Structure 1
């Protein structure tokens, strides 16, 4: 009887130990899957930032271009200057550029007096740009930062196609 109890205890102990290993494997696999899902989501979001799909959404004015207020035009001009004059050789340079672009964006928002369709279409142009500037400030690699900067530059350069 003692041998039977000893054998059952030993078997239960070994079985529990294997169970713990199995639980650890399951937990590890679950964590790895979660990380992969998160990384895929981040990659998808990053890919969206590179695109300029807003061009398909913006409407063209009956008069050719939408009228923008002086401060909006000035803010966009300052963004173009920042893009042209800032060296972007390191992640820190890109983050500095993102900070400058964010300040110019805030100036545009604070001083905007546009109304109606021109204002609505400014938002079509501006909202994706805001997401790109935020993505640039949060990027972790120079490669991604370079791609985002290029997308920002296209976004800002296209402003003059729709606004005056």
Structure 2
């Protein structure tokens, strides 16, 4: 029940305004250790909440799809051997993610599903910008790459 209430809170908060990038979209009320918070980033339970549009992919706005492709390109093209390079990449991903949020024009169920997909990505990019070890950075980079691939399963 808490999971459903939390999910409804996230959806309500995110759907209230895609255009306001300065608005805080959710609050982390977790009191677990940093390790537990980091581990939570790699959970994929959010995927269980995504759905297709009667068996078909949802129509996404052009800016969202282009943003996802830009993030995928950045992940493939940027050199990442040091923590500083990973953090720099995270900054670039964050800029593109902010553009996606700002340019969101989707409505209804497609919009709701987009935000079910987008919210965990936002958390991963934020954590990616704060990495403290190369192991953590690599793990987050791979998780973000996998997360971006899921977009093509549900959106076109």
| TM-score for the superposition, normalised by structure 1 | 0.74
Shift of 1:50: 1.9
Matched, 1:67 2:73: no
Secondary structure at the aligned position of 1:50 is classed as: coil
Of 113, 119, 127 in structure 1, the residue corresponding to residue 105 of structure 2 is 113
Task: Verify: 1:154 aligned to 2:146, yes or no.
Answer: yes
Judge conservation of contact 1:51–1:151 (CA < 8 Å) in 2. no
Task: Please tell me whether residue 140 in structure 1 is matched to residue 129 in structure 2.
Answer: no
**Does 1:80 find its partner at 2:72?**
yes
Q: TM-score, with normalisation over the residues of structure 2?
A: 0.78
2:94 corresponding residue in structure 1: 102
Q: How far has the Cα of 1:63 moved from its partner?
A: 4.7
Q: What SS is found at the alignment partner of 1:44?
A: helix
Aligned counterpart, 2:155: 163
Q: Which residue of 2 aligns with 1:15?
A: none
Q: Relative to total residues, which structure has the larger helix share, 1 or 2?
A: 1
Residue by residue, what CA displacement relative to the aligned partner does 1:17-69 show, whole Å, maximum 9, x if unpaired?
xxxxxxxxxxxxxxxxxxxxx8x610000001122222111112115100000
Q: Give the number of equivalent residue pairs.
A: 126
Q: Deviations over 1:86-124 (max 9, x none)?
A: 111110111011001101100101101000000000000
How many Å separate the matches in 1 of 2:54 and 2:138?
A: 36
Instruction: Find the residue that maps to 2:106 and give its secondary structure.
Output: coil
- CA RMSD in angstroms comes to 1.2
> Are 2:118 and 1:126 aligned?
yes
Rounded to whole Å, the distance in 1 between the matches of 2:64 and 2:106 is 9
Cα pair 1:71 1:108 within 8 Å, conserved: yes
In structure 1, stretches of 5+ residues that fail to align are 1-37
1:53, 1:156 → 2: CA distance? 15
Bigger CA radius of gyration: 1
Which segments of 5 or more consecutive residues in structure 2 lack a partner in the other structure?
1-30
Q: How does 1:36-51 map to 2 (within 5 A)?
A: 41-51=33-43
